[in-house]
Amino acid sequence: MSALSASAPWATLLLGAALTLAQVMLTAAMALATLRILRGPRAQDRILGLDTLYVNTMLLFLTLGMREGSQHFFEAALIVALLGFVGTVAFAKFLMRGEVIE
Protein backbone atom coordinates (compact mmCIF):
# COMPACT_ATOMS: atom_id res chain seq x y z
CA MET A 1 0.00 0.00 0.00
CA SER A 2 1.09 3.59 -0.44
CA ALA A 3 2.62 5.65 2.28
CA LEU A 4 -0.62 7.58 2.65
CA SER A 5 -2.67 4.69 4.02
CA ALA A 6 -0.29 3.80 6.83
CA SER A 7 0.02 5.82 9.99
CA ALA A 8 3.28 7.70 9.99
CA PRO A 9 5.08 9.64 12.71
CA TRP A 10 5.17 12.79 10.58
CA ALA A 11 1.40 12.65 10.03
CA THR A 12 0.72 12.36 13.76
CA LEU A 13 3.12 15.22 14.40
CA LEU A 14 1.39 17.32 11.74
CA LEU A 15 -2.05 16.58 13.17
CA GLY A 16 -0.80 17.52 16.63
CA ALA A 17 0.55 20.80 15.30
CA ALA A 18 -2.69 21.50 13.42
CA LEU A 19 -4.76 20.84 16.54
CA THR A 20 -2.52 23.15 18.56
CA LEU A 21 -2.85 25.87 15.92
CA ALA A 22 -6.63 25.44 15.86
CA GLN A 23 -6.80 25.64 19.65
CA VAL A 24 -4.70 28.80 19.68
CA MET A 25 -6.99 30.39 17.07
CA LEU A 26 -10.13 29.36 18.94
CA THR A 27 -8.72 30.76 22.17
CA ALA A 28 -7.97 34.02 20.38
CA ALA A 29 -11.55 34.04 19.09
CA MET A 30 -12.79 33.51 22.65
CA ALA A 31 -10.62 36.39 23.81
CA LEU A 32 -12.11 38.67 21.14
CA ALA A 33 -15.64 37.68 22.17
CA THR A 34 -14.73 38.37 25.82
CA LEU A 35 -13.38 41.79 24.86
CA ARG A 36 -16.70 42.56 23.17
CA ILE A 37 -18.55 41.47 26.32
CA LEU A 38 -16.38 43.77 28.43
CA ARG A 39 -16.55 46.71 26.07
CA GLY A 40 -20.21 46.66 25.15
CA PRO A 41 -21.20 49.44 24.56
CA ARG A 42 -24.81 48.31 24.90
CA ALA A 43 -26.43 45.26 26.46
CA GLN A 44 -27.19 43.67 23.09
CA ASP A 45 -23.50 43.80 22.13
CA ARG A 46 -22.56 42.03 25.33
CA ILE A 47 -25.13 39.29 24.77
CA LEU A 48 -23.93 38.81 21.20
CA GLY A 49 -20.40 38.43 22.56
CA LEU A 50 -21.61 35.86 25.08
CA ASP A 51 -23.36 33.86 22.35
CA THR A 52 -20.17 33.85 20.26
CA LEU A 53 -18.17 32.83 23.31
CA TYR A 54 -20.43 29.81 23.77
CA VAL A 55 -20.00 28.66 20.17
CA ASN A 56 -16.22 29.12 20.34
CA THR A 57 -16.05 27.16 23.60
CA MET A 58 -18.01 24.34 22.03
CA LEU A 59 -15.57 24.18 19.12
CA LEU A 60 -12.60 24.22 21.51
CA PHE A 61 -14.11 21.24 23.34
CA LEU A 62 -14.41 19.35 20.05
CA THR A 63 -10.74 19.94 19.19
CA LEU A 64 -9.77 18.86 22.72
CA GLY A 65 -11.76 15.66 22.19
CA MET A 66 -9.92 14.98 18.94
CA ARG A 67 -6.56 15.49 20.63
CA GLU A 68 -7.40 13.08 23.44
CA GLY A 69 -9.09 10.63 21.06
CA SER A 70 -12.00 10.58 23.49
CA GLN A 71 -15.66 11.02 22.64
CA HIS A 72 -16.64 12.23 26.08
CA PHE A 73 -15.95 15.79 24.99
CA PHE A 74 -18.82 15.46 22.52
CA GLU A 75 -21.37 15.40 25.31
CA ALA A 76 -19.77 18.42 26.94
CA ALA A 77 -19.88 20.27 23.61
CA LEU A 78 -23.55 19.39 23.11
CA ILE A 79 -24.41 20.65 26.60
CA VAL A 80 -22.47 23.89 26.07
CA ALA A 81 -24.38 24.47 22.81
CA LEU A 82 -27.72 23.79 24.52
CA LEU A 83 -26.99 26.07 27.47
CA GLY A 84 -25.75 28.81 25.16
CA PHE A 85 -28.97 28.74 23.19
CA VAL A 86 -31.23 28.82 26.24
CA GLY A 87 -29.14 31.52 27.90
CA THR A 88 -29.10 33.80 24.88
CA VAL A 89 -32.83 33.42 24.31
CA ALA A 90 -33.50 34.30 27.94
CA PHE A 91 -31.26 37.36 27.71
CA ALA A 92 -32.89 38.51 24.48
CA LYS A 93 -36.32 38.14 26.09
CA PHE A 94 -35.08 40.14 29.05
CA LEU A 95 -33.93 42.94 26.74
CA MET A 96 -37.30 43.05 25.02
CA ARG A 97 -39.51 43.09 28.10
CA GLY A 98 -37.33 43.68 31.11
CA GLU A 99 -38.40 40.40 32.67
CA VAL A 100 -37.86 36.78 31.75
CA ILE A 101 -40.94 35.11 33.20
CA GLU A 102 -44.23 36.90 32.95
Partner 1 sequence: MTAAPDLPAWAALLVAFLVVAGAAITLIGSAGLWRLDSFYARVHAPTLGATLGTGGILVGSMVCFSVLESRFVLHEILIAVFITVTTPITLMLLSRAALYRDRVEENPEVPASAFPETEPPSDPR
User: Contact 26/63 with Cβ under 8 angstroms?
Assistant: yes
CA 46/CA 31 separation, integer angstroms: 13
User: Contact 55/33 with Cβ under 8 angstroms?
Assistant: no
CA 53/CA 73 separation, integer angstroms: 17
Write 95-98 long-range contacts (CB < 8 A, 24+): 95/43, 95/44, 95/47
CB 99 to partner 1: min, Å: 12
Among 42, 99, 101, 102, binds partner 1 (CB under 8 A): 42
CB 67 to partner 1: min, Å: 6
Q: Does 21 bind partner 1 (CB under 8 A)?
A: yes
CB 75 to partner 1: min, Å: 9
Residue span 57-96 as binding mask against partner 1, x where in contact by CB under 8 A, dash where not: -xx--xx-xxxxx-x--x--xx--xx--x--xx-xxx-xx
Q: Count CA atoms within 13 Å of residue 24 on its CB side.
A: 6
Q: Does 38 bind partner 1 (CB under 8 A)?
A: no
Q: Which amino acid is residue 67, in one-letter code?
A: R
| Chain residues in the site for partner 1 (CB under 8 A) | 3-8, 10-23, 25-26, 28-30, 32-33, 35-36, 42, 44-45, 47-49, 51-52, 55-56, 58-59, 62-63, 65-69, 71, 74, 77-78, 81-82, 85, 88-89, 91-93, 95-97
